[in-house]
Structure 1
Amino acid sequence: MQSEAGAERGRGAAPAGQGALEKPEPAAPSKGGPSRRPPPRPLPSRTPTGTWRNHNAHFKSPVLLPKACPSDVANTEPLQQETEELEHKDRALEQEIGQLSAEGFSLEELDRHITLLHEYNEIKDAGQRLLGQLAVIRGVTTKELYPEFGLDLND
């Protein structure tokens, strides 16, 4: 039996104490110096391969520059008319603001009113979500719940 074990060792079997699944020790470098790693690969290029050239040379801007031509003179008339209309609306709004100020309305009152409207809408939205959840639990539509809680469908 010993001769068979010796023969096994001679054929390249693992020496005693080293399991078959363990990795063998790496071989020593051939020239006696430290092992050399291959040089790192260069990073991939983000530009197309081929001849080196200025890649921005053929860039065409999507912004069109205005050109002076006789048709532009005809296009200024509608712009002038639109400008006059806007100035007229501005004067009308200034008059309306002056009239409301004369009647006793103030900007602070308007801001307070807007704040209260936002608060009202948030509370109403929360109530609508609760009605929706209750309708799902009961298996009915929210429309059917309105009379039960004394709500009007138009609210």
Structure 2
Amino acid sequence: MQREKEVARGGGFGSVLQGALDKLEQASPLSRGSHQSPGTRGGPSPRPPPRRTPTGTQRNCNARFKSPVPSPKTCQSDAANRETLQCEMEELKGKDLALDQEIAQLLAEGFSPEELDRHITLLHEYNDIKDVGQMLMGRLA
């Protein structure tokens, strides 16, 4: 660095440029370590410059991404996972059995799936006719 200054001071445009750079280094608030606002003359700023990052969170910007959703392997071990799945399977089998019993009871009372399909079709037709009627009433109003 010293040698570069000596070569630059040798004469001409290089020495002028080097002199200007030296003056900028001396005048720079970063080189002196003091905090000055751009509008003040020589005195330190009453408050430090604002930070770019919030002060409350201290996160490493170079760290790997960590998902907020835990992965299944980190939450439970394989044994606990199998046990949970077994319990869920037993519950679902119980619900299936209860629904089969309810269907058998409704069939014994005289309900048929064909009759239910007919009622659903008629309800759809009724709703379509009602919607057309409301639309016509809206246009007349």
Instruction: Give TM-score, length-normalised by structure 1.
Output: 0.40
Instruction: Between the two structures, name the one with larger relative contact order (CA 8 Å, sep ≥ 6).
Output: 2
The structure having more radius of gyration, on CA atoms, is 1
Instruction: Give TM-score, length-normalised by structure 2.
Output: 0.44
